[in-house]
């Protein structure tokens, strides 16, 4: 069954078997697919095979098959066409296991796809790590040592090679089924259609899939699409951040997904996520952002002059992940009724060559050391900064994501104080006693007071106020620039003007005056005052460009009140611009629900939170078809906002993953009853 472009579609049931000499074929229990923007995505997983097929439509057709095994993949880019073309698949892929020329097993998929085109000329095949494929997609280059030479024989073209260290490698075979192959070009049949049979294989070590009742409990919500995406990304070894572009561990993505999914996950599934983070801590206690594994790790080692190593290489440039682990661990080990009885055993268990509790203490020592300067002297320059020479450091990890800022709001005003407070709670619980060194006690005893300084002093440094007249002028000018109506936004500005927390501070401590969705972190992890909650609810719920809300979702950034050079970094084609990220909506939805459980907030504040909650869920429901994807953009046409797939426009900075780990978290976030009297934007 196929739906129109931009909507989800799914295959369910046994997949067709096909004969192939020298291969072992199996029918997958289930397969699912999604058409998003220009990409036709098909996912299959069973046993030793997990694969994501991406067929790119348009003037620049492309095939990618990404494998979670070793974060590996094969890709084939074709030369540009004179007019847009569209791929189709009549059936899902068949799972394949076959031996390479040396008798070693390769695992992958075989499938057929058709395209209507005057001709189809292969431009470049890339067989390597998904990281190499990502770089080729963005830059058009690949390392010379991984280039595969094609072999043309009769009706097929084959690319095949070993991994750089001689281990089993990668293979892609393209065979013409309908049409002809000549002079390296596929020519259509009389009906104008080319049908190709693809076989894509990897020799990287398979992961161990987790699904069904081993992954989710009976509190998970009945969303078949989100469940299918989550299962595809879940393994006993780790969770994958997203496919096709991030088919491996990412620390931040793992931690936020585990925290938001926690009520719906089985205990072992929660602990898989926590353990995977601890296994990858640096010697100093930093949380790894991303891992280079498989052939990309080999490339890393060779750049350092070591041609024999293939061990994983971890990236520690992010700063937010360092402060996320302890709050998430506390939520499981102390706050969750299922986690508390397992806490001692979890901490006593091994991660790598040490006890989990020893690794937790290493992280706590790190965050305490980083936080001491501001705790002693709470001035801007003592905040936690991005690392020297690195333009990124938190979830908005594109080069323009912080607008040139060096001190992120979410890290300093929310995550650092919550990490300190959570570490203090773990210490006072006694759970950490077996792992504490004598020299730790003074620091551990001071964690609560350090947290209090950060909670009181950091957030005010980011407060930005725009008086009413200036706010209306800025809104009208920006609305004209981006060609959206301003009437509702102007009406939302009262005599008090607009107040919000700046996205970041620059190196001199000046605010980057961009409204942002990072208040969701405070709602989920913190205990803001009534006045703070009123400010947060207003930013979330005011109609864009006075605030973040649109009928197609809550934007992650609104630069209407920033300088022009900053505004230009946050357009609807920017990865962290005026776009909608599914998990940021989920974070905010979960945070609003958490704050509404409190009994110590004023009635007026509660009504503001309920209004924001109602309008956020209205936007979430309106975009359910793209909810499991990474992000989406918008266009304003025919008098209304419309969803636009991110990556479908040539002006977009990148493309969205069709399956994203932290976009599946709505499985654990119940939909509240709406507030009937609330009028929402749009």
Could you write out the DSSP letters of every residue in 444-460? HHHHHHHHHHHHHHTGG
- Cα 249 to Cα 145: distance, rounded to the nearest angstrom: 25
- Cα 122 to Cα 268: distance, rounded to the nearest angstrom: 46
pLDDT along the chain (682 residues), means of 10: 32 29 40 88 94 96 98 98 94 94 96 95 98 95 96 95 98 97 94 97 97 96 93 97 96 98 98 98 98 98 95 97 98 98 98 96 98 98 97 96 98 98 98 97 97 98 98 98 96 96 97 98 96 97 97 97 94 96 97 97 96 96 88 94 82 74 95 86 76
Pair type for strands 180-182 and 87-88 = unpaired
Question: Do residues 184 and 121 make contact, with C-beta atoms less than 8 angstroms apart?
Answer: yes
Specify the pLDDT at position 4: 28
Residue (of 479, 444, 591) closest to 528 by Cα position: 591
- Cα 167 to Cα 172: distance, rounded to the nearest angstrom: 17
- HSE on the CB side for 240, CA within 13 Å? 34
Buried b / exposed e across 568-589, counting CB within 10 Å, b at 16+? ebbbbbbbbbbbbbbbbbbbbb
- Cα 288 to Cα 224: distance, rounded to the nearest angstrom: 31
Question: Do residues 130 and 50 make contact, with C-beta atoms less than 8 angstroms apart?
Answer: no
Pair type for strands 193-202 and 170-178 = antiparallel
In sequence order, the 6+-apart residues with CB closer than 8 A to the CB of 456 are: none
In sequence order, the 6+-apart residues with CB closer than 8 A to the CB of 679 are: none
Judged by DSSP in three states, 359 sits in helix
- HSE on the CB side for 460, CA within 13 Å? 9
Give the dihedral sign, CA 92/95/99/105: positive
Specify the pLDDT at position 652: 54
Q: Which two tokens stand for residue 47?
A: 């046993």
Distance of CA 527 to the CA centre of its chain: 26
Residues in the chain: 682
Considering only CA atoms, give the Rg of the chain: 25
Residue (of 320, 325, 453) closest to 378 by Cα position: 453
Judged by DSSP in three states, 356 sits in helix
In sequence order, the 6+-apart residues with CB closer than 8 A to the CB of 327 are: 259, 415, 418, 419, 422, 525
What phi-psi label fits residue 521: left (phi over 0), alpha (psi between -120 and 50 degrees) or beta? Answer: alpha
Q: Which two tokens stand for residue 285?
A: 């206690």
Could you write out the DSSP letters of every residue in 605-673? HHHHHHHHHHHHHHHHHHTGGGTTSSEEEEEEETTEEEEEETTSSTTSSS---SEEGGGSGGGG-PPPP
> How would you class 670 by CB atoms within 10 Å of its CB: exposed for 0-12, middle for 13-18, buried for 19 or more?
exposed
Residue (of 275, 264, 203) closest to 236 by Cα position: 275
Pair type for strands 122-129 and 72-78 = antiparallel
Specify the pLDDT at position 280: 98
Query: What is this structure's pTM?
Result: 0.93
- Cα 645 to Cα 649: distance, rounded to the nearest angstrom: 8
- Cα 467 to Cα 144: distance, rounded to the nearest angstrom: 57
Pair type for strands 553-554 and 549-550 = antiparallel
Specify the pLDDT at position 28: 39
Specify the pLDDT at position 16: 27
Distance of CA 577 to the CA centre of its chain: 15
Q: What is the DSSP letter of 371?
A: H
Specify the pLDDT at position 5: 30
Q: Which two tokens stand for residue 177?
A: 């089924």
Specify the pLDDT at position 36: 85
Residue (of 625, 631, 515) closest to 573 by Cα position: 631
Q: Which two tokens stand for residue 610?
A: 């309920």
Q: What is the DSSP letter of 182?
A: E
- Cα 289 to Cα 298: distance, rounded to the nearest angstrom: 19
- Cα 263 to Cα 594: distance, rounded to the nearest angstrom: 13
- Cα 65 to Cα 54: distance, rounded to the nearest angstrom: 6
Cis peptide before 545 (omega within 30 of 0): yes
Judged by DSSP in three states, 52 sits in strand
Specify the pLDDT at position 49: 95
Q: What angle do CA 94, 98, 99 make, to 5 degrees?
A: 165
The number of helices, as runs of H, and strands, as runs of E, in the chain is 18, 35
One-letter-per-residue 3-state SS of 20-42: CCCEEEECCCEEEEEEECCEEEE
Specify the pLDDT at position 178: 97
Specify the pLDDT at position 53: 98
Q: What is the DSSP letter of 526?
A: -
- Cα 275 to Cα 615: distance, rounded to the nearest angstrom: 37
């Amino acid at each position: 069954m196929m739906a129109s472009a931009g909507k989800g579609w799914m295959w369910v049931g046994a997949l067709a078997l096909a004969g192939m000499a020298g291969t072992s074929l199996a029918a997958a229990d289930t397969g699912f697919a999604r058409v998003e923007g220009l990409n036709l995505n098909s996912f299959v997983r069973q046993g030793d095979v997990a694969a994501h097929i991406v067929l790119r439509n348009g003037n620049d057709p492309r095939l990618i098959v990404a494998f979670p095994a070793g974060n590996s993949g094969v890709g084939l880019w074709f030369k540009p066409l004179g007019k847009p073309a569209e791929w189709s698949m009549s059936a899902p892929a068949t799972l394949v296991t076959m031996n390479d020329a040396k008798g070693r097993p390769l695992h992958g998929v075989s499938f057929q796809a058709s395209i209507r085109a005057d001709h189809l000329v292969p431009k470049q095949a890339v067989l390597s790590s998904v990281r190499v494929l990502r770089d080729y997609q963005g830059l058009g280059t690949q390392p010379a040592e991984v280039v595969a030479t094609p072999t043309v024989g009769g009706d097929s073209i084959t690319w095949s090679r070993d991994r750089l260290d001689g281990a089993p490698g990668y293979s892609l075979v393209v065979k013409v089924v309908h049409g002809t192959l000549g002079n390296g070009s596929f020519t259509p049949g009389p009906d104008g259609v080319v049908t190709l049979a693809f076989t894509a294989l990897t020799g990287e070590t398979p992961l161990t899939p987790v699904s069904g009742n081993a992954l989710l409990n009976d509190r998970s919500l009945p969303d078949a699409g989100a469940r299918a995406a989550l299962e595809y990304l879940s393994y006993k070894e780790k969770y994958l951040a997203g496919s096709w572009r991030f088919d491996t561990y990412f620390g931040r993505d793992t931690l936020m997904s585990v925290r938001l999914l926690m009520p719906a996950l089985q205990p072992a599934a929660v602990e898989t996520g926590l353990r995977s983070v601890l296994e990858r801590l640096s010697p100093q206690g930093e949380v790894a952002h991303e891992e280079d594994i498989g052939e990309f790790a080999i490339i890393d080692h060779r750049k350092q002059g070591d041609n024999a190593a293939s061990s994983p290489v971890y990236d520690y440039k992010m700063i937010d992940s360092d402060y996320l682990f302890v709050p998430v661990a506390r939520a499981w080990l102390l706050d969750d009724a299922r986690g508390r009885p397992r806490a001692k055993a979890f901490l006593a268990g091994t991660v790598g060559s040490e006890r989990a509790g020893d690794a937790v203490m290493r992280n706590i020592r790190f965050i305490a050391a980083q936080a001491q300067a501001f705790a002693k002297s709470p001035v801007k320059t003592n905040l936690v900064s991005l690392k020297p020479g690195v333009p990124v450091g938190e979830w908005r990890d594109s080069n323009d994501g912080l607008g040139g800022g060096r001190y992120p709001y979410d890290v300093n005003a929310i995550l650092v104080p919550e990490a300190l407070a959570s570490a203090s709670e773990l210490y006072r619980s006694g759970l950490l006693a077996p792992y504490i060194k004598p020299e730790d006690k003074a620091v551990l005893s001071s964690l609560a007071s350090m947290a209090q300084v950060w909670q009181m002093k950091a957030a005010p440094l980011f407060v930005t106020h725009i008086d009413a007249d200036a706010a209306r002028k800025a809104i009208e000018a920006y609305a004209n620039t981006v060609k959206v109506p301003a009437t509702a936004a102007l009406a939302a500005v009262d005599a008090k003007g607009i107040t919000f927390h700046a996205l970041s501070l620059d190196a001199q401590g000046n605010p980057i005056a961009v409204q942002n969705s990072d208040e969701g972190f405070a709602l989920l992890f913190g205990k803001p005052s009534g006045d703070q909650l009123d400010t947060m609810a207003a930013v979330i719920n005011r109609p864009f460009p006075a605030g973040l809300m649109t009928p197609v979702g809550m934007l992650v950034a609104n630069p209407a009140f920033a300088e022009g050079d900053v505004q230009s970094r946050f357009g609807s084609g920017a990865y962290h611009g005026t776009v909608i990220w599914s998990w940021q909506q989920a974070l905010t939805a979960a945070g609003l629900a958490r704050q509404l459980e409190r009994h110590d907030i004023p009635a007026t504040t509660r009504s503001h939170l309920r209004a924001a909650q109602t309008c956020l869920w209205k936007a979430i429901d309106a975009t359910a078809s793209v909810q499991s994807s990474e992000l989406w953009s918008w266009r304003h046409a025919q008098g209304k906002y419309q969803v636009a797939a991110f990556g479908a426009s040539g002006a977009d900075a990148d493309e969205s993953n069709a399956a994203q780990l932290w976009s599946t978290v709505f499985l654990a976030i119940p939909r509240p009853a709406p507030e009937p009297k609330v009028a929402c934007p749009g």
